[in-house]
């Protein structure tokens, strides 16, 4: 039986989150601070009491199992939670589910040694430190088969050399998880490993911090990182040599669906502002008189609102269905097609809704006094991060085509004259059978 309502107990928690977000979390977004900067003592004094309230509600790090201090919520419950949290850049840190820390914690939880968990995972889960995932490279983007950053074994150490691009959160991280080539002679998906590198290790250099859109390098949080003869113990290897690609796919599968959940909140935020503007802004109603009418009375405005509502609701249903399938199968690979579809749809929905909202706000919408331009850049980032849209379209098409088989006839199976002939033959056969029974 289908049911589009969540159970009352969980809905009560979502209602608490809604009010908590509105009253205490969303105002933080207007402060000139970063939720990842654990050295900002003033900001941490604000965040810690809020984090404690979340813990008391049993909503801290809900994506993790009880053995790691979470609730072990399935993806559907996480989707319903994250479509509220996505409204605020501070919310994930307040609820202990901020990227890239959430994905890194998942990696260490599943593939780390007990020593790695004690040194890196526990303080990460407790919100005491931040981390970064150092994967993409300047010349290769997100294609791991082209990576050249090397880690060579030297006694009891790995020695790392190379450059990484767009290492998000690099300037605030206490440690990086770095994807490196450890065996260049192996196959393209077996030559890489993942290694934990503490930020203070000699040879780790942030060449510069990169901003997105109109952000300055001071504001930017994506590090261009150079590794020069960086030595770390062999015990810093995660999950075994040559396992980086499999580990990354596990991490990225969950990350993609969580990004989608939060994107719903961003699109809704733009949509709400669009509707408010449509009702508030007046234009001249007729050339014949001085009457005025709100934008909402104009058919082209109504089209923008209708198209936006449809995109958001269709996307939300796709995300929730994909979350349900992940819960059902317990395996990201079995839902690969659906996750790819979510990844493809996600940037287009946010871009289209934000663009329409920007347009209705006129010059104000294009300015930095409204969030729409930043949303549109954010949408484009979503279309690049964790694999570009084109790659996911290819994945989606390949997965869909596996459900079909080629037709061996001269004409396709839907050829109407052939189908008609087959139907007539079948009916004649049935009539002959009926006559034989009389």
pLDDT in tens, 352-381: 999 999 999 999 999 999 999 999 999 999
Taking residues 63-92, report their average pLDDT. Answer: 89
358 and 416 housed in the same domain: no
> Which CATH number fits the domain that encloses residue 270?
1.20.140.10
124 within a domain of the structure (yes/no): no
Model confidence band, residue 72 (pLDDT cutoffs 50, 70, 90): confident
384 within a domain of the structure (yes/no): yes
> Which CATH number fits the domain that encloses residue 60?
1.10.540.10
91 within a domain of the structure (yes/no): yes
149 and 205 housed in the same domain: yes
- Helix, strand, coil abundance in the chain, percent, nearest 5: 55, 15, 30
Average pLDDT, the chain: 92
Domain boundary residue, one of 238, 263, 290: 238
43 and 73 housed in the same domain: yes
Q: Is the pLDDT of residue 127 over 90?
A: no
258 and 358 housed in the same domain: yes
Report percent pLDDT > 90 for the chain.
77
259 and 397 housed in the same domain: yes
3 state DSSP class of 107: helix
User: 52-61 long-range CB contacts below 8 Å, 24 or more apart?
Assistant: 53/20, 53/24, 54/20, 54/94, 54/95, 54/96, 57/13, 57/16, 58/13, 59/13, 59/17, 59/95, 60/95, 60/96, 61/95, 61/96, 61/97, 61/102, 61/105, 61/125
Q: Is the pLDDT of residue 246 over 80?
A: yes
Q: Is the pLDDT of residue 432 over 90?
A: no
- Strand pairing report for 157-168 and 150-154: antiparallel
Domain with 357, as residue range(s), is 246-401
1 within a domain of the structure (yes/no): no
284 and 325 housed in the same domain: yes
389 and 252 housed in the same domain: yes
119 within a domain of the structure (yes/no): no
pTM of the model: 0.89
Q: Is the pLDDT of residue 308 over 80?
A: yes
Residue with the two structure tokens 């509220």: 84
How high is the pLDDT of residue 1?
63
d(CA 379, CA 388): 12
Q: Is the pLDDT of residue 431 over 90?
A: no
223 and 369 housed in the same domain: no
Q: Is the pLDDT of residue 216 over 80?
A: no
Domain boundary residue, one of 238, 269, 291: 238
How high is the pLDDT of residue 205?
98
Q: Is the pLDDT of residue 435 over 90?
A: no
- Strand pairing report for 131-134 and 175-181: parallel
309 and 332 housed in the same domain: yes
> Which CATH number fits the domain that encloses residue 198?
2.40.110.10
Domain boundary residue, one of 180, 206, 238: 238
171 within a domain of the structure (yes/no): yes
How high is the pLDDT of residue 70?
78
Query: Rounded to an integer, what is the distance from CA 205 to the centroid of its chain?
Result: 27
429 within a domain of the structure (yes/no): yes
Q: Is the pLDDT of residue 434 over 90?
A: no
223 and 283 housed in the same domain: no
Choose between 66 and 107: higher pLDDT.
107
285 and 371 housed in the same domain: yes
Taking residues 11-40, report their average pLDDT. Answer: 95
> How many separate domains does the chain show?
4
250 and 397 housed in the same domain: yes
92 within a domain of the structure (yes/no): yes
């Amino acid at each position: 039986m289908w049911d589009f309502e969540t159970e009352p107990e969980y809905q009560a928690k979502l209602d608490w989150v809604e009010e908590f977000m509105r009253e205490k979390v969303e105002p933080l977004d207007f402060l000139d601070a970063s939720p990842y900067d654990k050295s900002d003592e003033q900001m941490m004094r604000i965040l810690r009491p809020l984090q404690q309230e979340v813990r008391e509600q049993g909503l801290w790090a809900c994506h993790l199992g009880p053995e790691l201090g979470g609730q072990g919520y399935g993806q559907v419950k996480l989707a319903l939670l994250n479509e509220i949290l996505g409204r605020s850049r501070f919310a994930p840190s307040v609820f202990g589910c901020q990227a890239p820390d959430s994905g890194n914690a998942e990696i260490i939880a599943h593939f780390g040694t007990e020593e790695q968990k004690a040194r890196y995972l526990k303080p990460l889960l407790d919100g005491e430190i931040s981390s970064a995932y150092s994967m993409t490279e300047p010349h290769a983007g997100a294609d791991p088969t082209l990576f050249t950053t090397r880690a060579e074994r030297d006694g009891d150490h790995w020695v790392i050399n190379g450059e990484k691009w767009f290492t998000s959160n690099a300037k605030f991280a206490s440690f990086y998880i770095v994807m490196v080539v450890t065996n260049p002679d192996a196959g393209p998906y077996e030559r890489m490993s993942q290694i934990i590198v503490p930020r203070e290790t000699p040879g780790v250099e942030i060449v510069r911090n990169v901003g997105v859109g109109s952000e300055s390098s001071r504001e930017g949080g994506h590090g261009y990182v150079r590794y020069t003869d960086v030595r770390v113990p062999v015990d810093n290897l995660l999950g075994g040599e040559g396992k980086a690609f499999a580990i990354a796919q596990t991490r990225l599968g969950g990350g993609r669906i969580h990004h989608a959940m939060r994107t719903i909140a961003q699109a809704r935020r733009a949509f709400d502002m669009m509707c408010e503007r449509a009702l508030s802004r007046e234009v001249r109603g007729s050339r014949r008189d001085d009457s005025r009418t709100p934008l909402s009375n104009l058919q082209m405005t109504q089209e923008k609102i209708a198209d936006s509502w449809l995109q958001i609701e269709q996307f939300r249903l796709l995300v929730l269905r994909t979350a349900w399938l992940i819960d059902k199968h317990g395996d990201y690979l079995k839902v690969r097609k659906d996750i790819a579809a979510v990844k493809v749809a996600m940037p287009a929905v946010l871009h289209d809704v934000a663009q329409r909202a920007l347009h209705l706000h006129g010059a104000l919408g294009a300015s930095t006094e409204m969030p729409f331009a930043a949303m549109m850049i954010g949408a484009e980032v979503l279309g690049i991060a964790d694999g570009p849209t084109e790659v996911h379209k290819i994945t989606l098409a390949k997965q869909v085509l596996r459900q079909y088989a080629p037709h061996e006839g001269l004409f396709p199976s839907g050829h109407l004259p052939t189908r008609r002939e087959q139907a007539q033959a079948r009916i004649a056969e049935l009539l002959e059978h009926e006559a034989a029974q009389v």
